[in-house]
């Protein structure tokens, strides 16, 4: 991994530590927001007042040196002048309708808009291009803006309204924020650091990651995984726009770039459920659908090290012929007269079964023993794949499931061999109690 990516990783990890000291029970959200900044995406926090949403946004700004910060509480009476800047009187004299944007949203690097869905139509229309293309239409001019990251918040979701729906779709990251739930958090709440956060990251760091992300490959296997999630969601009537799916893939590429890779891996996709829901109540169902697709994709990605599909196909092939082979064995034992050609065919098939089942069982046993060693070091492996992973025990279980699938296949092979040849497969001994 290039030194510049290692350096950026170290800076982000230092920043995460500082943020987690100040914002309790926000570990997952903090990592998501870093992904949002690096991928040029916006974040929407849904939750009641008093959950430190604006404070968290300001803290991210401090990590970049408080570069051009803008925040505002929107109401239905908020005017465009308050958000985008006043109209220049000097320009009006020249028949030009131009706003003075310095110190307002179009001139900021970081922005926080509270109660965003209460904005009126004039503000909403201007926000759409700002959120999506980072462009502000200032009079007749298209003004590229320096906005690095915009976080918005709301106590409630938008009502059915075409303008609000279009605005809502511009927020790839959506996260429900709730009050603290753990007694340990209340014990720490009165001892939180209050000093300003140091400037750790820079705009150059962000540009480095964004440039690398554009070069990062999304392999065919993960394009298939993305489409698999899409189909599974649509079966449950969760429909997302093509723009949203494209942005999901782009965020995966950003994660790969952050981890110093030029190709996306399955471990870059773990925060995807927070990019897919429309209402917070859907998250649990979407997470469940994602987990099923993820487990299948992980199985496919690990085929080189534990080719379960190949082993399962071999086991299934001979299980289908078990009755035929067992019948031949029985007829031969009781001395039933058999056709010479039938005997030759059955004997050849039996020998082929013996050879292939023995070889497959021994190879599968060897792979399972190697897999056990990998499980012991899986936390370090997962960190090497994605340093933003949280609660790695959730993913170690997925590795264990793959091993258990392999163990079931080994048991099938051993049982089949025992039935046909009345003995154990030499060299396939395995301790299933682990």
Per the domain annotation, does 98 fall within a domain? yes
* 106 and 251 both lie in a single domain: no
Say how many domains are in the chain.
Answer: 3
Nearest to 275 by CA among 225, 320, 229: 229
* 295 and 362 both lie in a single domain: no
The H or E element spanning position 232 is helix 220-235
Q: What is the CATH number of the domain that holds 142?
A: 3.40.50.300
Q: Is 233 exposed, middle or buried (0-12, 13-18, 19+ CB in 10 A)?
A: buried
Provide the mean pLDDT of the chain: 92
Q: What is the largest CA-CA distance in the chain?
A: 113
Per the domain annotation, does 224 fall within a domain? yes
What pLDDT shows up at residue 305?
85
Tokens of 15: 């920043």
Integer Cα distance of 17 and 56 in angstroms: 14
**96 pLDDT exceeds 80?**
no
Q: Which domain-ending residue is among 281, 301, 321?
A: 301
* 148 and 159 both lie in a single domain: yes
Integer Cα distance of 403 and 397 in angstroms: 10
**21 pLDDT exceeds 90?**
yes
* 171 and 117 both lie in a single domain: yes
* 164 and 260 both lie in a single domain: no
* pLDDT band, very low/low/confident/very high, at 246 (cuts 50, 70, 90): very high
* 184 and 143 both lie in a single domain: yes
More confident residue, 302 or 226: 226
Integer Cα distance of 82 and 90 in angstroms: 19
* pLDDT band, very low/low/confident/very high, at 301 (cuts 50, 70, 90): confident
Question: Minimum mean pLDDT among 162-171, 247-256, 278-287: which range?
Answer: 162-171
Q: Is 96 exposed, middle or buried (0-12, 13-18, 19+ CB in 10 A)?
A: middle
Please compute the mean of the pLDDT values over residues 190-204 and round it to a whole number. Answer: 92
What pLDDT shows up at residue 326?
86
Integer Cα distance of 147 and 427 in angstroms: 63
* 174 and 104 both lie in a single domain: yes
Question: Minimum mean pLDDT among 223-227, 231-235, 282-286, 297-301: which range?
Answer: 297-301
* 354 and 331 both lie in a single domain: yes
Per the domain annotation, does 434 fall within a domain? no
Give the DSSP letter string of 262-273.
Answer: SB--GGGGTTGG
* pLDDT band, very low/low/confident/very high, at 363 (cuts 50, 70, 90): very high
Distance in angstroms between the alpha carbons of the first and the last residue of the chain: 36
Per the domain annotation, does 356 fall within a domain? yes
Polymer length in residues for the chain? 434
* 239 and 116 both lie in a single domain: no
Q: What is the CATH number of the domain that holds 260?
A: 1.10.8
What pLDDT shows up at residue 161?
67
* pLDDT band, very low/low/confident/very high, at 55 (cuts 50, 70, 90): very high
Question: Minimum mean pLDDT among 30-44, 82-96, 117-131: which range?
Answer: 82-96
Q: Is 26 helix (H, G, I), strand (E, B) or coil?
A: coil
**16 pLDDT exceeds 90?**
yes
Per the domain annotation, does 288 fall within a domain? yes
Question: Minimum mean pLDDT among 38-52, 155-169, 340-354: which range?
Answer: 155-169
Angle, to 10 degrees, between the axis of helix 203-215 and the axis of helix 242-258? 110
- 252, 269 contact by CB (below 8 A): yes
Please compute the mean of the pLDDT values over residues 316-332 and round it to a whole number. Answer: 89
What pLDDT shows up at residue 33?
97
* pLDDT band, very low/low/confident/very high, at 198 (cuts 50, 70, 90): very high
* 69 and 183 both lie in a single domain: yes
Query: What DSSP state is assigned to residue 177?
Result: -
Please compute the mean of the pLDDT values over residues 238-258 and round it to a whole number. Answer: 95
Please compute the mean of the pLDDT values over residues 99-108 and round it to a whole number. Answer: 93
pLDDT digits (tens, 9 = 90+) for 133-187: 999 998 888 999 999 999 999 988 877 767 788 888 899 999 999 999 999 999 9
Tokens of 109: 């690097």
* 242 and 337 both lie in a single domain: no
**234 pLDDT exceeds 70?**
yes
Please compute the mean of the pLDDT values over residues 75-85 and round it to a whole number. Answer: 94
Per the domain annotation, does 427 fall within a domain? no
* pLDDT band, very low/low/confident/very high, at 285 (cuts 50, 70, 90): very high
Q: Which domain-ending residue is among 301, 329, 356?
A: 301
Residues paired with 112 in a beta bridge: 71, 151
Per the domain annotation, does 426 fall within a domain? no
**331 pLDDT exceeds 90?**
no
Per the domain annotation, does 432 fall within a domain? no
Radius of gyration, alpha carbons of the chain: 29
Nearest to 98 by CA among 140, 126, 129: 140
Q: Which domain-ending residue is among 176, 209, 242?
A: 209
Residues of the domain holding 315: 303-421
- 15, 186 contact by CB (below 8 A): no
Residues paired with 149 in a beta bridge: 110
Q: Is 280 exposed, middle or buried (0-12, 13-18, 19+ CB in 10 A)?
A: middle
**47 pLDDT exceeds 90?**
yes
* 162 and 106 both lie in a single domain: yes
């Amino acid at each position: 991994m290039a030194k510049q990516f290692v350096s950026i990783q170290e800076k982000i990890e230092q920043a995460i530590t500082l943020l987690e000291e100040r914002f309790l029970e926000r570990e997952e959200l903090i990592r998501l927001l870093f992904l949002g900044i690096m991928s040029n995406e916006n974040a929407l926090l849904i939750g009641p007042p008093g959950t430190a949403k604006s404070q968290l946004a300001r803290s991210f700004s401090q990590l970049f040196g408080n570069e051009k910060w803008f925040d505002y509480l929107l109401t239905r009476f908020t005017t465009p002048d308050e958000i985008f800047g006043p109209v220049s009187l000097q320009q009006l004299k020249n028949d030009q309708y131009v706003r003075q944007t310095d110190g307002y949203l179009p001139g900021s690097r970081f922005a926080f808009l509270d109660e965003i869905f209460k904005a009126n139509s004039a503000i909403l229309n201007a926000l759409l291009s700002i959120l999506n293309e980072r462009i502000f239409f200032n009079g007749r001019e298209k003004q590229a803006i320096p906005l690095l990251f915009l976080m918005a918040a709301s106590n409630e979701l938008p009502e059915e309204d075409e303008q609000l729906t279009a605005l809502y779709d511009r927020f790839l990251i959506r996260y429900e924020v709730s009050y603290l739930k753990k007694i340990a958090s209340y014990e720490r709440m009165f001892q939180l650091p209050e000093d300003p956060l140091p400037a750790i990251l820079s705009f150059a760091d962000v540009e480095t990651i964004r440039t690398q992300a554009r070069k990062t490959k999304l392999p065919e296997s993960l394009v298939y995984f993305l489409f698999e999630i899409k189909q599974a969601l649509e079966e449950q009537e969760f429909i997302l726009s093509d723009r949203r799916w494209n942005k999901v893939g782009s965020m995966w590429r950003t994660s790969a770039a952050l981890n110093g890779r030029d190709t996306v891996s399955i471990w870059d996709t773990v925060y995807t459920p927070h990019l897919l829901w429309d209402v917070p109540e859907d998250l649990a169902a979407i997470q469940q659908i994602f987990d099923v697709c993820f487990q299948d994709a992980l199985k496919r990605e690990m085929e080189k090290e534990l080719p379960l599909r190949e082993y399962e196909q071999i086991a299934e092939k001979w299980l289908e012929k078990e009755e035929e082979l067992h019948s031949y064995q029985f007829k031969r034992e009781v001395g039933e007269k058999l056709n010479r050609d039938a005997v030759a065919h059955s004997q050849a098939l039996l020998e082929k079964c013996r050879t292939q089942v023995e070889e497959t069982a021994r190879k599968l046993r060897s792979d399972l023993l190697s897999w056990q060693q990998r499980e012991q070091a899986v936390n370090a492996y997962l960190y090497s794949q994605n340093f933003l992973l949280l609660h790695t025990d959730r993913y170690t279980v997925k590795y264990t499931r793959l091993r258990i699938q392999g163990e079931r296949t080994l048991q099938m092979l051993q049982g089949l061999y025992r039935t046909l040849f009345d003995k154990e497969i030499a060299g396939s001994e395995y301790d299933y109690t682990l």
